[in-house]
Amino acid sequence: MTTAPTQGPTTPHDATSGRSTATGRQMSARTASYGRHMSNVLIAAFTLSVGHTVYARVEGIEDPTFTVTTPLAWAFYVVGFGSAVLARRTGRVAQVSVLAYLATLLGISVFYYPTTFGPQQQTTFGWFENDVYVGLLVTATYLGVQRLRRTTLTPQ
């Protein structure tokens, strides 16, 4: 896949355009907005994080400052899932806000979280959640930057 400047309709909704194959058969190409994909990636990241928070509670390995009963955790997940909703908005302020939030989360993931990820939390699921969660944040950030640049991905 390569990137090309945006051409054609730029609505936030899915669109279908008809194309013909070499045999003359009609084929449709589906497009979807960056916002929708970015939102889905964020939902996956925060759902995984919620799952790990519950797992840590059940296993007795949770960070005492971030548990299923602390207001910090609840606020974090409200803001996190809220960012997934905000990612679907087309306004530049919404786009920049979500990217700023993602930059903050990535900074926390790299510089702060490792200080709380002690040997007790380093289970197989703990490592899986950490790596996949950060990977999903990076993916959402990439989608957000491409959206802000108004880049369209086109198959070749």
Listed residue (111, 110, 122, 134) closest to 61, CA to CA = 122
**pLDDT above 90: residue 94:** yes
Model confidence pLDDT, tens digit, residues 66-81: 888 899 989 999 999 9
In what helix (H) or strand (E) does residue 4 lie, and over which residues does it extend? strand 2-5
Rounded-to-integer distance, Cα 50 and Cα 137, Å: 15
- Collect all residues with Cβ–Cβ distance below 8 Å to 143 and sequence separation of at least 6: 34, 37, 38, 41
Phi and psi angles of residue 13, each rounded to the nearest 5 degrees, phi first: -95, 160
Model confidence pLDDT, tens digit, residues 44-73: 999 999 999 899 899 888 888 888 889 998
